[in-house]
Structures are given as structure tokens and as C-alpha cells.
Amino acid sequence: MTVARDVAGRHGNGPSRTAWVASCDVTAGSVYKPAVRTVYDGLQAWTAASPHHSNISVRQIYISWPRFNSTAARLQFDFLQPADLLVWVGVAGYAEVPWLVLRARSVRLIYYNSEPLTDCPHRRVSFSRPTYTNDGQQCVMRGTGCVIDDTKVDELWDYSVHNLNLCNRTQARSPQMRFIPPGLVSDSPRPTQRQRDPPKLLFLGSIGYNSSAGSSRNACWARLKATLGEQLVHRFDIWSDAAFGNLLRNDDYIFLNIHRRCGGDTVPLEAFRLQKLLSAAQLVVSEHAQVKDEERYRGVISFAALQNIHATYQLLASMNLDRRKALASRRYSTYSQRFTPDNLFRQAGAYEMLHAFFVAGKG
């Protein structure tokens, strides 16, 4: 168990309490980082906003993953005190979190879902052993449409309206739900476009034989490659902030976003991938996604049906350097105002919940 970052508890109104942001240590600094950073920054912004929050600290922690060992799991969470708040980010290890023990301890419990969700009517789905389709969608439980219910958590936070809609269909044992996509990383590097030649269209993700994304994305990639040829390129080796920074410094690109279930306009938008690209002020072309997911990104991303991605990319690539730089600057300005963590929390109603729990004592 490792405390990664700590905003020290401040002495003030009443006993010290803590809002914890936790995730599994096997994913530390990697796939869940976009959501962890947004949740942490959103909580920190709330504690700094009022002297009434001066006794509340925000801490980020990575937990070792005691797979299928409930006793070891309980010991990992002994640090949580009554009237603390825990946001667990990501599916890795979520079945081992001792939710019922923590609820009995009066801890406010929130699960941040990290996965694209889908119905699996012909599969046996268990909370204790998450079930996935061949293209990496997590199966929801048949009775609730969720991956977790209100017997375990008080709230479910998600990066996609598509996922929340699945859970909201029956309203049976559904926790309070909030749409909080990964937001702006204010200290991200933002190199500007430099090359006068048209930039290539780059996809950062899994493609090809044995791809975890499945056959649908591979088929869409083949269609795009047939029309774009050498203008379309692919990388699946950019895993760190340093590698991403080097990529941007070495060349100019326009970035492509396509879904695992490519060609559909009702699937979740890949907000985790987009956070990195948009925080770095990059131009992005994406295929259409769930309409409510798209709405938040209007004016920031160029959306197109799969058959129109070629034309949408060409429209951006054919701009001269000054026009591309100006467009990237305008889009970043919109994104940096709309997607600050405190703005995302406020729009989702999370600050009202925090006030009721920590200040008004209505948890």
C-alpha cells in the first residue's frame, strides 16, 4: 500500500476527515491515471474553496491487489476511518474492495467505472469475477444493468452517458449516478504544430492480429487504410507521459479516435484516450459516439461517420500551418474552460454531495 500524493490535513472546523482516491497498484501511473487525476483535482479544488473545508484532506493511494483473498483485502483498507470518503477508480481490484465492511464503518463509498459496458444476455455475469466480451466490453449484471449496486456503494461515477444509461434502465438497486469524464490536465505539455507539410492521421491504440480490441476495429482500420494509405499511421507503444511528450515534439499529427465496436454511433466515447490528446492541444478526428457523450466535446473534436473520416481528416490536413495552429488554439481554449475538474464536479452535482456529507452531516 503506497500513498502517492497527499494534501496534508489542515486543522480547523471539527475532527480531521479524509477523501481518499484509490486504485489498484498494478495500474499505477497508467490506464486509470486520467480518471484518478480528475477525481483528485476535483476533490482538492473543493477543499480549497472554503474555510469550512479546512479539516478535510485529500489523499491518493495505490492498493496491492489481493486477488480472491477477502481477509487480505480487509487489512488493506484499515486506514479508512468512519466518516471518510473513498473513490475507487477502475475495475482492477474492485471486486476485492471490502465494500460491506467499509459501509458498516460509515465510509462514503464511490466507484468510478473505467470500462465500456454492454449487455451479455447469454453469459453468466458475476460481480466477484468481472466478465468481458471478446472485444473488451465489460458485461453488466442482468438484474440491475450495472456492474455494482447500491448494497455496496453510495454512488457510481462514469466517463460515459452510454454506461450510465445501461444502469439507469431498471433503477433497481441503482446507486446515485454521476457523469464525470476525465478532464483537463493543466500541466500537460502543449507543443504547437510546426510542420508546413500536411500531418499524418495517427491512431494510438490496439490494431491487428490478436488485438484486444477485436475484429470490428480491425475491419474499420482496413477500410480507412484503403482510402488513406500512408497518410494513416498507428502506434501502440506510447505508454508514458515522457513517450507521449517525445512523440509530440518529434513530429506533427492529427489524431484519430475509433471505437472497439467501430462503425456504431451508440457506443461510449473514449474519454480516457481523449483527455491526453486534448490536454496537449492536439487536433482530433473521431467517429461518432453516444450522442450525450458527444455533446460535451462539441467544438473540441471533429466528429464524423466512419465513411466520412477521410474527408474530415483531409479538411484539417489541407489547412496551412497558421490555420491549423489557430484551430488547435481555439479548441484547446474551449476544452480548458469546459473540462476543468472543478467544473465537471460542479455540473455533476458532486460538490453538493460533498457539502452534504462533510459539512452538513447528511451522509
Res 5: pLDDT? 45
Q: Which residues, at least 6 apart from 172, have a Cβ–Cβ distance to it below 8 Å?
A: 143, 144
**Using the 8-state DSSP alphabet, how is residue 95 labeled?**
G
Q: CA angle, corner 180, sides to 305 and 48, nearest 5?
A: 145
Alpha carbons 122 and 115: distance in angstroms, whole number: 20
Give the pLDDT score at 75: 85
Better pLDDT: 116 or 25: 116
**pLDDT attached to residue 134:** 87
Mean pLDDT, rounded, for 347-358: 96
How high is the mean pLDDT of the chain?
Answer: 88
Of 28 and 84, which is predicted with more confidence?
Answer: 84
Q: Is the pLDDT of residue 7 over 50?
A: no
Q: In CATH terms, is domain 2-183+340-359 a member of 3.40.50.2000?
A: yes
Give domain 200-338's CATH number out of 1.10.3470, 3.30.2420, 2.60.40, 3.40.50. 3.40.50
DSSP-derived letter for residue 175 is P
- For residue 4, pLDDT over 50 is answered with no
Domain with CATH 3.40.50.2000 in the chain: 2-183+340-359
Report yes or no on whether pTM surpasses 0.75.
yes
> How much of the chain, in percent, has pLDDT values that exceed 90?
62
Give yes or no for a contact between 145 and 139, defined as CB atoms under 8 angstroms apart: no
> Is 80 exceeded by the pLDDT of residue 47?
yes
The per-residue pLDDT for range 191-224, each reduced to its tens digit, is 777 777 889 999 998 887 666 667 888 899 999 9
